[in-house]
Every structure is written in C-alpha cells, then in structure tokens.
Amino acid sequence: MLKKCPKCGNVTDSTFCGDCGTDLSDVLEIVEQKDDTKTDQPTGIAENEISDASVNSFQTPLINIS
C-alpha cells in the first residue's frame, strides 16, 4: 500500500520516506494506485491531426506593397 509523506509529499510503499527520511509507520493517509493503462484525457496529437504550428508553417507570408 502506498503512503504519502506528510513532510515532502513523496509517495512510497516504504516505512521511511525515500526523499526526506521521515518515518511513515504511523501515516494513515493511503494513496490509491492508479491504473496507468487507461486515460481519460488525450496524451497528444493523433496521427491524422495537424497542430497549429504545422498549419502556420505552410501559410504564405504577407507582403506589404506600398
């Protein structure tokens, strides 16, 4: 079971925090381990989508004729 260090916020399954050394044996706050196989939010641009940067790179520059 994962515990969150109350001093620095590090998440670990150890008795002591690996970042600051705080004793976590009495810590009651348990952090649920998330399933990394599913995401509710997109992680990036799909292969068939074009980002704004790539669209802008193909635009013809404006020429000012005075």
Where is 12: in which H helix or E strand? strand 11-12
| Full-model pTM | 0.45
Over residues 30-54, the pLDDT tens digits come to: 766 666 665 565 665 555 555 555 5
**pLDDT given for residue 56 in this prediction:** 52
Give percent above pLDDT 90 in the chain.
Answer: 36
**pLDDT given for residue 44 in this prediction:** 59
**pLDDT given for residue 25 in this prediction:** 92
For the chain, the domains span 1-31
22 touches 6 (CB < 8 A) = yes
